[in-house]
Amino acid sequence: MTIEPSPDPAAEPAGFVVEVAPGDRIHFLDWGGVGEPPVLLIHGLSNTAWSWAPVARRLRSARHVVAMDLRGHGLSDAPTTGYDAAGFTADVVAVAEGSGLLAAHDSRVVLAGHGFGAIVAAWAAEALATRCAGLVLVDGGWESIEASTGLDIDEFLRNLDEPPEVMRSMTAFLADRAGFDPPTWDADQERAARATVVETHAGKVVPSTRPHALEGSVRAMFGYDPVTLARVSARVVALQAANDEGGGRARAVTTVSAARTATGRDPIRTESFGHDGHNLMRYRPDAVSAAILSVAEPSR
């Protein structure tokens, strides 16, 4: 039985970078902690490593925990290339090795990704093969984005634009983010929100994710084939938020889970959160932490 750890409110991560190519650096937060296997956390589109703070504060009592900034996001560099499965996978492996999570040739790591980060985690889990101890998909990674949204790439990008009134000032932006769920708004949520924007001299805010990086990441999302999960040797857990009108997303999990069992692998274990939004790390950090700790446990 997995115990849900309590958060460590005093913990502060150390920031590091790893060079993945000459002049291209990927930033990560090392939350410390001990325990095997360690955990690498991957944020979603237009977000940063700070989005994982509520979960990292819990996991560090049982695991060594690292959260990375994807290329073009947060404090990572934004090269003009590498926004594809191979590029993102190389970044994940570089952080896992550079942070010491994969310090030896026989080391194993649990990967957990949110939204687009779940897709990146799936790519990396396939590449790492037996070096991946488990994969946790937090509201993403098991479906075709085009099929689930009914949008093409350009429409999807347009829908990412924030209303002008939200971006008119940092105060307005933070108030909007706090309004998603006031009871869960705290210092960690404010820091995570601030990391996604840059304040201009005129007082407005603009997204911190570089436009070419955002477009490249979205194009990578649309190119993702969820059958990737059938080739992941590690156990997989899918955590689904309350955004499945018509049940299409649940059916997508069932389909890819069947593809896994057809290859002799474990089915995907699913957990649904019918009253919680996409950012389950904010709304249900206890459950997300428990799922991450459970995925590498021996099959029960």
Domains and CATH numbers, the chain: 14-149+213-295 (3.40.50.1820)
* 292's tokens: 């991450």
What pLDDT does residue 299 have?
A: 46
Mean pLDDT of the chain: 95
- Put simply, whether the predicted model's pTM sits higher than 0.85 gets the answer yes
Q: How confident is the model at residue 2 (pLDDT cuts 50, 70, 90)?
A: low
Per-residue pLDDT tens for 45-104? 999 999 999 999 999 999 999 999 999 999 999 999 999 999 999 999 999 999 999 988
Yes or no: say if 71 and 24 are a contact pair by the CB < 8 Å rule: yes
The 3-state secondary structure of 31-90 reads EECCCCCCEEEECCCCCCHHHHHHHHHHHCCCCCEEEECCCCCCCCCCCCCCCCHHHHHH
The residue-averaged pLDDT of 5-27 equals: 95
pLDDT of res. 3: 62
pLDDT tens, residue by residue, 155-211: 999 999 999 999 999 999 999 999 999 999 999 999 999 999 999 999 999 999 999
- pLDDT attached to residue 274: 85
In angstroms, rounded to a whole number, what is the distance separating the alpha carbons of residues 168 and 116?
27
Query: How far is residue 34's CA from residue 157's CA, in Å, rounded to a whole number?
Result: 40
List, in order, residues 6 or more apart from 90 with CB less than 8 Å away: 20, 82
Percent of the chain with pLDDT over 90: 92
